[in-house]
Amino acid sequence: MIVQSVVLTGAAGRVGSVLREPLRRRVRRLTSIDRVPMVAQGPGEECVQAELSGAGPLEPLVAGADAVVHLAGVPDEAPLPDLLDGNVLGTHHVLEAARRQGVRRVVLAGSNRLTGCYPAAQTVSAEAPPRPDGLYGVSKVAAEALGRLYADKFGLEVVCLRIGSLEPEPTEARHLATWLSPHDCAGFVWAALTCPEVSFRAAYAVSANTRRFWELDEHLGYRPRDDAETYRDRLPEPAAPAHRLQGGAYATPEFTLPHISA
């Protein structure tokens, strides 16, 4: 697929900040959207301050685009109403605006936390049933379901990237399996934008970590370059795999209980 014009939501966030410059260099027009003000990083980028409050206001922003990369939303564990509003309704607004304007492809930011309650000793593919490690993971299950609905019912091309632990370098033992380097993040997103013959795909975006516990999707055509093992000597020894879940601390009751209303 040839991509010349991309809309990037959540452009000021952690993932968006990594993607803006690589995308700007590859496309003719990049529209970066966030609720906070931004300054264009160079020619071809337009920055728009906006809320994803409905499909209608988004339509003029996505009109004429080849693709949308949707990253905006609540980025971590939170009360379920906030997650439904930011991650589920926000995704619905983007998909609906894309449908109305005839945008061909939408790349959704999924999360590895969608399967965080699988044992760390098990290798998981994107075809495995969801086992979210918290309310945030539940919201990402729903967002993926919306993406599949819009692919099946309305013919959008939708790729859900289950993003790993995006950091400049690994900072904790869990990252030996889950790390996603900035270089590999940009590579996965570009592959999701351009790979041919897509209806709906869910795929993990994770670096080539020796200890990773997710299968890579060969159809995307991107092979990650970096390996967290390079940083092994700087990190504490991980827990025994038989006694932990892929989500690590995210999968504990203590991580979610503060966000559940009485």
Active site residues: 136
Q: Which residues pair with 214 in a beta bridge?
A: 124
3-state helix, strand, coil in the chain (%, to 5): 40, 20, 40
Pairwise CA distance, residues 72 & 36, whole Å? 11
Six-digit token pair at 59? Answer: 């339509």
Pairwise CA distance, residues 197 & 186, whole Å? 20
Q: Which residues fall within 8 angstroms of residue 166, CB to CB, at 6 or more apart?
A: 14, 15, 18, 180, 181, 182, 185
Instruction: State the pairing for strand pair 67-70/45-49.
Output: unpaired
